[in-house]
Amino acid sequence: MTKIQIDTDIPLPLIRKPSEVSAAIEALQKGQSFFVAGSYAASDKARAIAHRIKMARAVDGEISKFATRTVTENGTHGVRVWRLA
């Protein structure tokens, strides 16, 4: 049986810096939108962005409304995010 050593005073690593998408979501004003080119399936990208929006709302406490759609712009597949309120 393996024994687990319990340590004290080990510092918690810093959280990595916010992604560009997270920063854009926080900066987005009502009526604005941005496009994120998808390097993998656009629906997966949309789900990841939707999760970031949910997390941003949870931290902020603001009642913000967003919409996301998978789109093709200038031949590039990706996701567009709009802030509605």
pLDDT in tens, 24-64: 888 888 899 999 887 655 567 677 787 777 776 655 566 67
Phi, psi of 68 (to 5 degrees): -130, 145
Note the pLDDT of residue 58.
56
Average pLDDT, rounded, for the chain: 80
**CA distances from residue 77 to 2, 11, 40, 47 in whole angstroms, order as listed:** 49, 42, 9, 15
pTM higher than 0.75 for the full model? no
The set of residues, in sequence order, having a beta carbon less than 8 Å from that of 37 and lying 6+ positions away, is 76, 77, 78
